[in-house]
């Protein structure tokens, strides 16, 4: 009798999954059909759709790059780090302070430059900060954003996370919330709460389409090159180095890794440093792309980073990257049918929920760390 009941339950679960897949499939086909008909009839502009896709990819690269560190932290330390978004903001301020210092040396005093302070003689436009005009300043800022944030995150681990690391995931999570709030208001105290512009205008290349064009600026290209290079670097690290193999082993089974002689404390240190460095770099590139910086943009980005990591599969590096691209493109493409603003954010979470309903472990579920 129990065997019959199990068969019936399996049949019900299967039928509900098939029904859900059918509903999602019908919705996807309807949206795709509307898009194709709209493009064919001229209701939707080809160049407009192309711009949405381009902007979505750029946004998705930032989310995916930041999501790698969050995914690594979860897979190896087994907790969701709510301070990760503030690492993004902190790294951006570290990096842009150095960029302003290099670009404005001799033009303004050191204090306002390091603090990215909006003053009469200190602004991105007045200092002509751009990858084309001040490449050394931008590259120096990008490097410092990654390195300084990596060291800063390691310090936070020693002060806040290491003392409670053996208590389980919940104390670590609560500690991360406290670290997030503390960091955010330290940023306000040091850098102020004002939103400021950071860059000058840059040249762009226009790609002509049927009814318009798509522009790729120098900062867009910088974002693409830097993000893809860092993602490939993480792939090489995980697949080809002893440290990467140790990370993957520890992610699969920490106790077994400890028994087999893997230096777990060293792996944890490098996990924090790599995750923090990528978060800081993502923050710097975000500001380079948008041209503005404020004290809470990383915190606002955190929910989208979480959505990307969960959508891709918690613990999967490639899932975080792919999830970021899906979230970024999906958010911008939704503007074809929805107004902008908060509605695009809602789209990101709807995509995450739909994926989890169909595949609860995420798109790359089960593939931890790598």
Answer whether 43's CB lies under 8 Å from 205's CB: no
> Which pLDDT does position 259 carry in this prediction?
76
pLDDT band at 250 (very low <50, low <70, confident <90, very high): confident
The CA-based angle 145-147-149, given to 5 degrees, is 65
> Which pLDDT does position 121 carry in this prediction?
62
> Region 165-186: what's the mean pLDDT?
91
Q: Please tell me the distance from the alpha carbon of residue 358 to that of residue 27, in angstroms, as a whole number.
A: 14
Beta strand segments in the chain, E:
196-197, 204-208, 213-217, 292-293
DSSP category for residue 163: G
Residue 236 has pLDDT above 90, yes or no: yes
Alpha-carbon torsion, ordered 294, 63, 342, 184, to 10 deg: -30
Higher pLDDT, 315 or 122: 315
Which residue in 235, 338, 228 sits closest to 285, CA to CA? Answer: 228
> Region 119-128: what's the mean pLDDT?
74
Residues 6+ apart with CB under 8 A from 185: none
Q: Please tell me the distance from the alpha carbon of residue 159 to that of residue 149, in angstroms, as a whole number.
A: 15
Answer whether 316's CB lies under 8 Å from 367's CB: yes
Residue 299 has pLDDT above 70, yes or no: yes
**Residue 232 exposed, middle or buried by CB count within 10 Å (0-12, 13-18, 19+):** exposed
> Which pLDDT does position 27 carry in this prediction?
80
> Which pLDDT does position 1 carry in this prediction?
47
> Which pLDDT does position 66 carry in this prediction?
95
> Region 175-203: what's the mean pLDDT?
91
Higher pLDDT, 76 or 230: 230
Residue 62 has pLDDT above 70, yes or no: yes
Residue 30 has pLDDT above 80, yes or no: yes
> Which pLDDT does position 45 carry in this prediction?
87
Which residue in 94, 107, 102 sits closest to 134, CA to CA? Answer: 102
Which residue in 124, 307, 144 sits closest to 219, CA to CA? Answer: 124
Tokens standing for residue 255: 């106790």
Residues 6+ apart with CB under 8 A from 36: none
> Region 33-39: what's the mean pLDDT?
86
pLDDT band at 67 (very low <50, low <70, confident <90, very high): very high
For residue 208, report the phi and psi dihedrals to the nearest 5 degrees.
Answer: -75, 130
Residue 226 has pLDDT above 90, yes or no: yes
Average pLDDT over the chain, rounded to whole?
87
Instruction: Tell me which of 117-126, 225-234, 240-249, 345-354 is least confident.
Output: 117-126
Give the strand pairing for 196-197 and 213-217: unpaired
Higher pLDDT, 161 or 118: 161
For residue 100, report the phi and psi dihedrals to the nearest 5 degrees.
Answer: -65, -40
pTM for this prediction: 0.90
Tokens standing for residue 360: 């609860």
Tokens standing for residue 306: 């979480």
Alpha-carbon torsion, ordered 19, 22, 28, 34, to 10 deg: -120
> Region 16-29: what's the mean pLDDT?
76
Alpha-carbon torsion, ordered 346, 351, 354, 356, to 10 deg: -110
Higher pLDDT, 302 or 316: 302
Q: Please tell me the distance from the alpha carbon of residue 321 to that of residue 343, in angstroms, as a whole number.
A: 23
């Amino acid at each position: 009798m129990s065997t019959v009941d199990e068969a019936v339950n399996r049949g019900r679960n299967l039928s509900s999954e098939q029904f859900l897949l059918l509903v999602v499939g019908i919705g996807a086909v309807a949206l795709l059909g509307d898009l194709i008909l709209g493009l064919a009839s001229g209701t939707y502009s080809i160049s407009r759709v192309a711009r949405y896709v381009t902007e979505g990819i750029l946004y998705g690269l930032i989310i995916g790059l930041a999501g790698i560190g969050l995914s690594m932290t979860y897979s190896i330390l087994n907790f969701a780090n709510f301070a990760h978004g503030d690492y993004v903001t902190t790294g951006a301020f570290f990096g842009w302070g150095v960029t302003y210092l290099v670009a404005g040396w001799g033009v303004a005093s050191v204090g306002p430059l390091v603090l990215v302070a909006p003053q009469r003689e200190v602004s991105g436009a007045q200092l002509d900060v751009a990858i084309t005009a001040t490449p050394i300043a931008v590259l120096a800022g990008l490097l410092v954003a990654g390195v300084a944030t990596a060291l800063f995150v390691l310090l936070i681990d020693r002060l806040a996370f290491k003392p409670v690391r053996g208590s389980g995931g919940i104390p670590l999570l609560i500690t991360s919330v406290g670290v997030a709030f503390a960091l955010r208001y330290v940023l306000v105290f040091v850098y102020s709460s004002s939103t400021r512009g950071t860059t000058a205008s840059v040249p762009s290349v226009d790609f002509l389409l049927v009814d318009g064009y798509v522009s790729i600026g120098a900062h867009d290209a910088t974002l693409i090159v830097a993000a893809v290079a860092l993602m490939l670097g993480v792939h090489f690290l995980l697949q080809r180095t002893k440290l990467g193999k140790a990370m993957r082993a520890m992610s699969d089974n920490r106790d077994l890794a400890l028994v087999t002689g893997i230096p777990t404390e060293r792996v944890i240190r490098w996990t924090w440093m790599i995750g923090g460095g990528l978060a800081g770099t993502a923050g710097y590139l975000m500001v380079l792309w948008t041209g503005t910086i404020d004290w809470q943009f990383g915190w606002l980005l955190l929910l989208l980073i979480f959505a990307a990591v969960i959508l891709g599969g918690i613990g999967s590096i490639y899932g975080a990257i792919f999830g970021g691209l899906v979230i970024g493109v999906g958010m911008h493409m939704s503007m074809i049918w929805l107004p902008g603003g908060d509605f695009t954010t809602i789209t990101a979470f709807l995509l995450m929920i739909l994926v989890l309903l169909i595949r609860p472990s995420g798109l790359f579920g089960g593939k931890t760390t790598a």
